[in-house]
Structure 1
Amino acid sequence: MSLLAPDSPRLPSRALHGILCVEIGMLLFVAQDAMMKTMLESYPVWQLIFVRAVVSVLLLLPLVALLGAPHRLRTPLWPLHLARAMLFSLGFSMFYAAFPYMGLAEVTTIFFSAPLITALMATVFLKETIGIHRAWALAVGFVGVIIAMNPAGEAFSWVAALPLTCAVTYAASQIIARRIGDRESTLTVGLYTLGFSGLMILPMGWAFNQILPQGAGFAHLAWPPVSVSFADLPGLALLGLLGMAGYMLLSRAYQVANASLVAPFDYTYLPFAALMAYALWDEIPPANTLIGMALIVGSGLYLGYRELRAGRDTPEPAIVAEGVFVPGSPLPQQIPEEEDAL
């Protein structure tokens, strides 16, 4: 029987549970990114991503070992995890590199084109089909991205390409996760993605500075890492804890509730980020960012509605994406077995 059946006695509690997990997770991710933006004044992005990965692995490793199957420490799918981690490291170093030059709401609005890009990539690489309604929703969403970036405006900067590039790499990592499907647990995917990205990010920072040495005006991209102040240790630990707690809450949401039901609530990250930026730094998003945000969110909500409607049309709930599009989330996506055979 479908989880969305009107006579299901468990629907209200499961749905509310999932929605609450998503909303709290969004707040934690916004807090994490606000901390990241603040700490970039003292530490390079490579170092902060590395610290976050270390804290996450220290929490995930014993958890996976303790819980056992279906979670596992050794996996034959490690090449796919390695590819995802490479995209993850490259993309989010660009995402956070934009923070000193753009408002938090502006960066995250452009990044939230990732669900749209993923849907487009799925049609190309996974041969998924989209109807005319979803095609129009994607078109509207991409118009929102262009408006948010405002390439014809006087205030346009090449920095706006950084969160967009992150959205592309993140979407590509989600396509790889679709290939992993349900052959791997969420915790194992998170462990390998964060673990590999932690190993990659420092060499990546070193290589970047060998090619493009950074001056004083780009201290958040410079090399080598700086000495950690004892007073900053609690903040660095909290940075990793916020990311892991948000990750676990989002994972829980997609375990207890239908993904098509809770996925649209991911977009509450954007107004949360705008409010946080205003409260901390008096940032007011420009009009083009607000318009683009509205179009992107509207497009994503409509895509979620169509997915939910499609799920209602099937006798059993479809296996849908466990794909949460928030900065730094390594959640896997699951697909039906027949798709995995493509």
Structure 2
Amino acid sequence: MSQLSSQTNQPVQGAVYMLGAGLTFAITNLLTPHITYTLGVPSTAVVFWQYVIATIFALPLIFRIGFGALRTKHPFAHEMRAFLSALGVQVFAFGFASGVPLWQMVALSMTGPFFIIGGATLFLGEKVTIQRLGAALVGFLGAILVSGIGTESFTWAALLPVIAAALWGTVSVMTKYLAKEEAPESLTLYMLVLITPNHLLIGLILGALVTLFPGSLPGSLANGFDFVPPGGDALWLIVLLGLVTAGAQYFLSLAYKVADATYLQPFDDLKLPLNTLLGWIVLSQVPSPLFWPGALLILGASLFILRQESARQPRLQAA
């Protein structure tokens, strides 16, 4: 979620850091379904305590950036960006809690770039090209295959990672807007500082909805939000989850500090095969036959967009 600008050009180190981030995020994707779906801890509580712990572990990074980076002309935009990011995490975790398999969660969450295209076109005035539109359509075709829409295996919960991707795509569009005036360090610090309070805010909103409209929310959300941390094995697993989440943030910040985002994107896309393999080995989750062609379409469309954007940037700078 946090991206620091590249001050140097160290592609090998950047690739290693990005792969480290991918591995740590894969561990969070193994821990989350076990804590929520297997142990039965509500996803809202898991995510809240996960980010409380992650923020504590991320304090050295916060102090390294310095609170002077909080000076801004756009406080509301920073808050909305953090809120939507937190909401995306909550929706994503609820997908795990609802029993959506890891391979499906990760593949469908990679539809984010296609939402970014739509948001950048509508709100940032970026031009729609045939290439962009075609890539978006191909990517969503892949998402339809992965989700299993039209087959007996399809469940509405499979749409949760797509919703999370749409929320994170909106965050990326807001980041592009703010980056015109805000330093990368400010964008990173605001996300680190505001993400946990916004998870608390979401929990309070859920609690109010349960009180006002009992029985209206699905699954574990119907129980509202529990501020008491769980006990036993679940507590230690959440502590580990928070530690790994903080580690992923460190890896990401290091990667974007030494290499450009366009160069790093293909290494980020390796999270799909990595998560699929770990889900198969650790969770015994075997992807459906439709997963493979769908995943290839999503990956291919994402890499095509990356190539188009990489070629587009020099032209914009020259203009």
In the alignment, the residues of structure 1 paired with residue 110 and residue 256 of structure 2 have an alpha-carbon distance, to the nearest angstrom, of 19
RMSD of aligned alpha carbons: 2.6
Hey, what does 2:54 align to over in structure 1? Answer: 56
* 3-state secondary structure, aligned to 1:169: helix
Q: 1:46 to 1:269 in 2, by over 3 A?
A: same
Residue 153 of structure 1 pairs with residue 147 of structure 2: no
1:177 Cα shift? 1.8
Q: Which one is further off, 111-120 or 193-202?
A: 193-202
Hey, what does 2:208 align to over in structure 1? Answer: 207
In the alignment, the residues of structure 1 paired with residue 157 and residue 210 of structure 2 have an alpha-carbon distance, to the nearest angstrom, of 18
Q: 1:166 to 1:231 in 2, by over 3 A?
A: closer
* 3-state secondary structure, aligned to 1:98: helix
For normalisation by structure 2, the TM-score amounts to 0.85
Hey, what does 2:182 align to over in structure 1? Answer: 183
1:101 Cα shift? 2.3
| Aligned amino acid, residue 203 of structure 1 | L
Hey, what does 1:262 align to over in structure 2? Answer: 264
* 3-state secondary structure, aligned to 2:215: coil
Hey, what does 1:332 align to over in structure 2? Answer: none
Q: What is the count of residue pairs matched by the alignment?
A: 304
- Measured against aligned partners, the alpha-carbon deviations of 1:135-185 in whole angstroms (never above 9, x if no partner) come to 322221121112222321122211122111111112112222222215142
In the alignment, the residues of structure 1 paired with residue 64 and residue 254 of structure 2 have an alpha-carbon distance, to the nearest angstrom, of 18
Gaps of 5+ in 1: 1-9, 319-342
Whether contact under 8 Å (2:18, 2:268) holds in the other structure is: yes
Q: 1:128 to 1:47 in 2, by over 3 A?
A: same
For normalisation by structure 1, the TM-score amounts to 0.80
Hey, what does 2:120 align to over in structure 1? Answer: 122
Residue 36 of structure 1 pairs with residue 36 of structure 2: no
Hey, what does 2:104 align to over in structure 1? Answer: 106
Whether contact under 8 Å (2:65, 2:189) holds in the other structure is: no
Query: Percent identity between the aligned chains?
Result: 24
Hey, what does 1:4 align to over in structure 2? Answer: none
1:84 Cα shift? 1.9
Whether contact under 8 Å (1:113, 1:142) holds in the other structure is: yes
Q: Choose between structure 1 and 2 for higher RCO, CA contacts under 8 A separated by at least 6 residues.
A: 2
Structure with greater helix percent: 2
Gaps of 5+ in 2: 1-7
1:44 Cα shift? 0.6
1:87 to 74, 84, 87: 84
Aligned counterparts, 1:212-223, within 5 A: 212-213=214-215, 218-219=219-220, 222-223=223-224
In the alignment, the residues of structure 2 paired with residue 35 and residue 150 of structure 1 have an alpha-carbon distance, to the nearest angstrom, of 25
In the alignment, the residues of structure 1 paired with residue 316 and residue 85 of structure 2 have an alpha-carbon distance, to the nearest angstrom, of 34
In the alignment, the residues of structure 2 paired with residue 107 and residue 221 of structure 1 have an alpha-carbon distance, to the nearest angstrom, of 22
1:32 Cα shift? 0.7
Q: 1:17 to 1:212 in 2, by over 3 A?
A: farther
In the alignment, the residues of structure 2 paired with residue 314 and residue 81 of structure 1 have an alpha-carbon distance, to the nearest angstrom, of 26
Residue 239 of structure 1 pairs with residue 235 of structure 2: no
Whether contact under 8 Å (2:35, 2:234) holds in the other structure is: no
In the alignment, the residues of structure 1 paired with residue 149 and residue 252 of structure 2 have an alpha-carbon distance, to the nearest angstrom, of 34
In the alignment, the residues of structure 2 paired with residue 221 and residue 18 of structure 1 have an alpha-carbon distance, to the nearest angstrom, of 43
- Measured against aligned partners, the alpha-carbon deviations of 1:264-300 in whole angstroms (never above 9, x if no partner) come to 2211111111111111121111122222111001111
